Amino acid sequence: MSITNSFFATVFLFVTFITSSIAQNSTSQCVPSSCGDIRYIKFPFRLRSDPEHCGKTGYELDCQNNETIFHYKSRKFYVQEINYTNFSIRLLDPSLKNQTENCSVFPEHRASYDAMTSLIFGWLSVDNDINYVNCRGPINSSLYISTSFCSTNTTATNSSFSYFVVGEILQASDLAGGCRVETVAWSSAPGISPNMPSSLSSIHQALGYGFELSWRRDFLCRECGRDDECVFEDNSDVATCIHYCKEDTPVSERSFGCKVEYYSVFVLVYGGIAIGALMLVGIAILIAVVVWQCKRRNLNTSNDDVLGNKASSSEQNC
């Protein structure tokens, strides 16, 4: 098994090296693009008008009316910044781009972890939930920032009181009595925190700042195979691919090397059983042949005794 694993590991590393070399040669021929305020768009991102080899699948951007657009899980966002140093992209909900009304604009997309994260992009700890809250009565708390909502698609009435609340709200008990969350937006803006009071203007600025997603793991682990585990060294961007075949992955979805490794176990086990069975059958046949020869020799010896030819006892027995 160890020889088999070593062989396929060597083949895997060789193929990975060749693929990586070809990819690097291809991407080195790509010229960075620009659109609006985003002046530097390079691998793994690319505009849809750029050659496909200049970016990775899932990182395509659109340039519409001099605005960089990112379509993410059927949602549209404006790209505010791409940071190639910390591997993050800052996105802005379209409804929050130009908030000029005196009231607070609702985001077009409700922020949720499942909707905003994937195998490519991950949530950053600097992102804060900004909750749009309606209450039946006034709330006397510095953590509830009074406002009025522009949207009429809410449960608010003329006697309702509207607030912003910064921080994650997991259940109704996290809110003051008589309050409910209408929708949620994300923001990575510095200066706001669930544990410190904010002003309405700072909340509006935070909403207009947008939120960040990380593409660090997907980018740095791009050389790892489907059956590999990507491990980062402490406090560094050095990724190591550890190759092993995951037991919980269906065989049909495993890589070629893992399929061979999987079936080789059955070949070795059942092959060993077959060889053992053949050896037992062979031994049984050998014993049968020896017994048959002994009986035949003894029979011949008995016939000779009848004719008067005496044989020694050692010649009579096998």
The pLDDT tens digits for 102-145 are 788 899 888 877 766 777 888 776 678 999 999 999 999 989 99
Higher pLDDT, 187 or 74: 187
Q: Which of 12-21, 99-108, 154-163, 221-230 has the lowest mean pLDDT?
A: 12-21
In whole angstroms, how large is the CA radius of gyration of the chain?
37
Task: Give the chain's length.
Answer: 318
Is the model's pLDDT at 4 over the cut of 90? no
Residue 63 has a pLDDT of 96
Residue 80 φ/ψ, nearest 5 degrees: -95, -30
Cα separation, 26 vs 29, in Å, equals: 6
Predicted confidence band of residue 228 (pLDDT cuts 50, 70, 90):
confident
pTM attached to this predicted model: 0.66
Is the model's pLDDT at 22 over the cut of 60? no
**261-266, Cβ contacts within 8 angstroms, sequence gap of 24 or more:** 261/4, 261/5, 261/8, 264/1, 264/4, 265/1
Highest mean pLDDT pick, 143-152, 208-217, 290-299: 208-217
ω before 44 within 30° of 0 (cis)?
yes
Cα separation, 271 vs 30, in Å, equals: 53
Query: Which residues have CB under 8 Å from 178's CB, separation 6+?
Result: 135, 136, 137
Element (H, E) at 40: strand 38-41
Amino acid at 201: S
Residues 156-201 have pLDDT tens digits of 555 689 999 998 887 888 899 899 999 999 999 988 888 887 889 9
Cα separation, 239 vs 229, in Å, equals: 10
Cα separation, 70 vs 63, in Å, equals: 9
Residue 1 has a pLDDT of 46
Residue 299 φ/ψ, nearest 5 degrees: -65, -40
Mean pLDDT value across residues 238-263: 66
Highest mean pLDDT pick, 98-102, 111-115, 289-293: 289-293
Query: Which residues have CB under 8 Å from 101's CB, separation 6+?
Result: 150
Average pLDDT, the chain: 79
Residue 299 has a pLDDT of 73
Residue 252 has a pLDDT of 63
Cα separation, 119 vs 222, in Å, equals: 12
